[in-house]
Structure 1
Amino acid sequence: MVKKVTNEQWLSEVEEEILDPSIAICDAHHHLWWREDSKYMLDDLLLDTNSGHRIVSTIFVECNSMYQANVDTSIAPVGETEFVQGIAAISASNTFGPTRVAKGIVSFADLTLGERVRTVLEAHQQAGANRFRGIRHASGWHASPEIRNSHTNPVESIMSQDKFLAGMSVLNDMGLTFDAWCYHHQISEFVKLARTFPGVTMILDHFGGPLGIGPYEGRLKEVFLEWKDNIQELIDCKNVYIKLGGLNMKLNGHGWHKRSLPPTSDELVGATAPYYEECINLFGADRCMFESNFPVDKESCSYAILWNAFKKITSRNSKIERQKLFHDTAVKVYRLID
């Protein structure tokens, strides 16, 4: 029997009253999968989104799920778009409640295909109909064997390679978005990419991946200062938006998953608020959006606790700023259709 992603019993040990339940939320980043060792499907996601916060819509981001079989590897990722498009159609029927799951779809296409990636992107457009918005080519790479590279098996400095840039030119021609997933020491490379393609709307996932394991273990304060210097390079890249979330993965080094009890929202705020505050101050609410990164972050905390933490972090922001951070910026950037 395929098990769920995390220990629900462990997560249920910490419960809180839902803060500001009327705030409309577009969860800008989550996954769906059915794997040999775990699953996170529509029913699992809805258990989380129905836990008290007002989740009106979500954006699915690729995770190497449900690829087509018996086809060329370059076109296989279109199967993931077909899979999620079906989930989105089920959600849109209103049979399972008002949340519009996967109202936007971010798929995978290998940009190192260069001009040949156009065929793959066109197939995604056909499969995703009115929901496909762009792609993510995860580029997280580190020389340390203690740090797992992204699931796309990138090489070092992939975002600077000529064939990757050729693929990005196609993305630019087609008016599609680009989600970047890299580690904090790679942010400068991403900055160069953003400056090279100012016409491509780019979204930096998970703050640019501040690491806290391997050679960075026990150096959370140092990593923050290094990240802070790097992230400021993006201020003038007006085509870049920041996803606020994804800081509770094992690779971030907080060790929540090792505890006898999961963290409270106050503990999450205490450990991670400087990242959120820095980005909101630097880029403003017009260029930032909250994300759950579930079920990956679910290895550390529950959905209800996570969004409570986000609401506490923004308790001093204006109503309009919060509306943008929790909903409007994601809707604008991914051009979600009512």
Structure 2
Amino acid sequence: MPDDFPIIDAHHHFWDLAHNPHPWLRDLPMIPFRYGDYSALRGRNFLPADYDALVGPHNIVATVTMEGEWDPADPLGESHWMQALAEATSRPAAHVAQAWVDRDDGGSVLAALERIPLVRGIRHKPRSAAAPHLVQRGAPGSMGDPRWRAGYARLAEHGLHFELQTPWWHLDEAVDLIAANPATPLVLNHAGLPADRSPAGLAGWRAAMRRLAEAPQASVKISGIGLPGRPWTVEDQRPVIEDCIEIFGWQRCLFASNFPVDGLCGSFETIFSGFRQVAAGLPLEQQRAMFHDNAVRIYRLTR
């Protein structure tokens, strides 16, 4: 892949901690986090100039921002701020907003988000269990909760898609959700969180991913696959990346940095060069789709 190959980073964050409310990055005590100690993220802004300083030789032609756990008491604040940032800097090209679909104000928030030009979809992390054997179908706040599902059903009328971050053992609930709402595309974040890399853990993850991939409305972001306490390496990540591509097909995979969060695991250069190394043996058309064209389609971009 040539160095001028166009790339759209399909998942990262911007925040201005001096002015904007992100409780997990400002308040104490710190929350439990899947990468462990995240103190390196606290107290530091991450804005377009900071992002652009990291990308090295990669030709990042556009980016998509993901909601960053803005204070839920202000459900529209982050999207309005991101719209203003995009108008001032040309980054990002699209935004995935925070919305709490099971809140009383869920419908009015979705209607307001529909009117913000930058917003393409929403993310609401559903309640999840700590391990597969602890899953309780229909638990309050989960994807099986009737109130949660009723809120999700409103997305199609507002032209918004859904971004799902949940451990792989909840993907059967996502399959049911898609079947009940076939007009709403779903993008699985962070490859379904395959944190357990034991043979049994990977077998369970693969089986769940295959069931989700049967739904043509589902796509997967290859991002956020770092391991706590380990540097990001191609050796660790190649099996997960290759399995995602084999299971979903190159037409439904997107590469993304998850920066600055994944800076806890590796540099931007390490991660994107790793993605490019793993994908290098595929036809150029397939590489371009996963690094660029699929994001154009899913996020309705113009480039």
TM range (shorter): 0.7 to 0.9
Partner-residue secondary structure (3-state), 1:111:
coil
Matched, 1:64 2:73: no
Matching residue of 2:287: 322
Matching residue of 1:109: 99
Contact preservation (8 Å) 1:184, 1:211: no
Equivalent positions of 1:116-195 (< 5 A) are: 116-126=105-115, 128-129=116-117, 131-139=118-126, 141-143=128-130, 158-195=142-179
Equivalent positions of 1:220-235 (< 5 A) are: 220-235=198-213
Distance in 2 between residues matched to 1:143 and 1:21, nearest whole Å:
41
Partner-residue secondary structure (3-state), 2:292:
helix
Distance in 2 between residues matched to 1:285 and 1:27, nearest whole Å:
16
Matching residue of 2:21: none
Contact preservation (8 Å) 2:127, 2:142: no
Select 1:44's aligned residue among 47, 50, 55: 50
Identity of aligned residues (%): 28
Distance in 1 between residues matched to 2:114 and 2:155, nearest whole Å:
12
Distance in 1 between residues matched to 2:3 and 2:127, nearest whole Å:
35
Write the deviation string for residues 2-41 of structure 1: whole angstroms up to 9, x where unpaired: xxxxxxxxxxxxxxxxx73121100000011233332222
Matching residue of 1:81: 79
Matching residue of 1:12: none
How far off its partner does 1:300 sit? 1.0
| Structure 2 spans left out of the alignment, 5+ residues | 18-25, 27-41, 132-138
Equivalent positions of 1:167-316 (< 5 A) are: 167-212=151-196, 220-248=198-226, 252-253=227-228, 255-256=229-230, 262-263=231-232, 268-316=233-281
How far off its partner does 1:320 sit? 0.4
Distance in 2 between residues matched to 1:196 and 1:207, nearest whole Å:
23
Q: Note closer, same or farther for the CA distance 1:233–1:280 as it changes in structure 2 (3 Å cut).
A: same
Contact preservation (8 Å) 2:127, 2:143: no
How far off its partner does 1:156 sit? 6.1
Letter of the aligned partner of 1:87 in structure 2? L
Distance in 2 between residues matched to 1:220 and 1:43, nearest whole Å:
39
Number of equivalenced pairs = 272
Distance in 2 between residues matched to 1:109 and 1:157, nearest whole Å:
13
C-alpha RMSD of the superposition: 1.9
Letter of the aligned partner of 2:190 in structure 1? H
How far off its partner does 1:157 sit? 6.2
How far off its partner does 1:306 sit? 0.7
Write the deviation string for residues 88-115 of structure 1: whole angstroms up to 9, x where unpaired: 11222xxxxxxxx21111001111136x
Write the deviation string for residues 23-68 of structure 1: whole angstroms up to 9, x where unpaired: 110000001123333222222212123x110000000010123x58
Matched, 1:26 2:8: yes
Q: Note closer, same or farther for the CA distance 1:120–1:157 as it changes in structure 2 (3 Å cut).
A: closer
Distance in 2 between residues matched to 1:179 and 1:336, nearest whole Å:
17
Distance in 1 between residues matched to 2:187 and 2:220, nearest whole Å:
6
Contact preservation (8 Å) 1:141, 1:156: no
How far off its partner does 1:322 sit? 0.4
Distance in 2 between residues matched to 1:110 and 1:157, nearest whole Å:
10
Partner-residue secondary structure (3-state), 2:111:
helix
Distance in 1 between residues matched to 2:239 and 2:268, nearest whole Å:
20
Write the deviation string for residues 162-205 of structure 1: whole angstroms up to 9, x where unpaired: 11111111102222110000012212222221222111011000
| Structure 1 spans left out of the alignment, 5+ residues | 1-18, 93-100, 145-154, 213-218, 257-261
Partner-residue secondary structure (3-state), 2:51:
helix
Partner-residue secondary structure (3-state), 2:11:
strand
Letter of the aligned partner of 2:199 in structure 1? K
How far off its partner does 1:292 sit? 0.6
After TM superposition, the score normalised by the length of structure 1 is 0.76
Write the deviation string for residues 202-249 of structure 1: whole angstroms up to 9, x where unpaired: 10000111234xxxxxx533221110111110222000111011101x
Runs of 4+ aligned residues of structure 1 deviating over 4 Å after TM superposition are none
Q: Note closer, same or farther for the CA distance 1:31–1:314 as it changes in structure 2 (3 Å cut).
A: same
Distance in 2 between residues matched to 1:140 and 1:321, nearest whole Å:
35
